[in-house]
Amino acid sequence: MFHHVSSTVFLILALGLSFSPGQLQSRQETTLPDQSKISSLIEQLKGVGYADRQRADSELVKRGDAAIPALADSIVSGDATTAGKCKSILARIGKQGNDQTIARVGRIFYLLSQNGFNGFESDVVQFRNQLDESNLKQTIKSLGTIGIEVDRSENIYDGLIARPLVSGRKSSKASTNKAQTSEPASATPPLSPDKILTRVAEILLASEESNLKAFRAESARIKAATEEKQPKKQVGTTIHRGKAYTLENDPRPYLSNITIKPEFAGNAADLSLLKDIPHIGTVTVREQKLSKAELEAIQSIKKSGTLRLTHCQVELADLLEFMQRNTHLHVKVIGRGAYAGLQVSDVWEEQKKDWACTVSDVTADSPAFKAGIEKGDQVTAINGLPITMDRQLKACIPCFEPGDTVKLTIKRGNQTKTIPVKLGAR
């Protein structure tokens, strides 16, 4: 039955180590006959009859966690054909089980992958994805009860991810070559079959919390190594405000678009729950009064892409500071239709060696036109708050109501003046 560890010893380790002697005897009396039947089913996998093999396969899957010890032993010490069949059965038990079963089987597969057994890494990644999906559904359900909607849709856009262009590539390449030519690190020798099975028993006895924590750490290493092997598909470079970025194809299979609805009555702590949502696309906040802390909570889960604020109340100073510190986040404010009638863009100012928010066009008969704003003016402040980027001004104007008057500080040549602009309605 067990070629390296006797059946009694392995079952004691796997099923009874945490019990007192009296309890252990009772535990063995109820489990040993079942394990004997499981071992018999594994023997049937070697039979010549197709129907018998299929029946044994199905029966082993139905037994779930109870079959794990014997299946693990057959993988470790059985012949190649039987080991392959047992691996397939154990993988199905994991995929059909609850979180605890997923973690158990996932940890066993990780253990085997690290000790000379090939073909287990992809299963570890699948188990981790399944566990993440289960947790994600629970999180989305919980978020829905407090007014946060998560809409997951296929990433059908030809999206690009911009990453800062690394300088000093020559030295980086040299260091890489040096690492490749250095002496290889001494690899840890694989465990013996006896020790592997002992570790399997320890996994089966560990608490659900302990197994889940360990499996997340172990599977993360496998996922990272797998992703590292996949070449990044660079499609070009771009320049933004004088900084170079490489453009890569967006590899995300789907996007999680977040909507914080008007009925949301939580706080920054509730918003931090969104950090558990992967592949976040657009975040939309509707009809909320946002504090500085809540803006920071959103920033902690949304580093780049689009943040849409629809009919929200936010202090102008907080919004400008938020945008100044999060230049990779495109903030789009949708207000009540207020407009000034001027177009702005960032223009390099050679004298100051910096970028300036510069008026590129003024619509005829618009509020800005009537106030005296001219093409080429540099907007440096709104209501006394500094403006350094065109996107800041574009986000600020919709924060006001039609009919409100804003004070734009502009620089025209060597003159600086503050011009009141009464906003119109679209």
Mapped onto helix, strand or coil, the DSSP state of residue 159 is coil
Query: What single-letter DSSP state applies at residue 399?
Result: G
Per residue in 381-404, pLDDT (tens digit) is 999 999 999 999 999 999 999 999
- C-alpha–C-alpha distance, residues 95 and 102, integer Å: 6
The answer to pTM > 0.85 is: no
CA distance 355 to 357: 7
Contacts of 14 (CB under 8 A, 6+ apart): 68, 69, 200, 201, 204, 205
pLDDT 10s digits, 277-315: 888 888 999 999 999 888 888 888 877 788 999 999 999
Among 58-72, 222-236, 311-325, the range scoring the smallest mean pLDDT is 222-236
Nearest partner of 108 among 83, 87, 132, judged by Cα: 87
Residue 318 has pLDDT above 50, yes or no: yes
Q: What is the mean pLDDT of the chain?
A: 82
User: 7-137: which CATH topology?
Assistant: 1.25.40
In this predicted structure, what is the pLDDT of residue 207? Answer: 93
Domain boundaries, the chain: 7-137, 254-334, 338-425
What CATH number belongs to 338-425? 2.30.42.10
- Please tell me the predicted confidence (pLDDT) of residue 320: 94
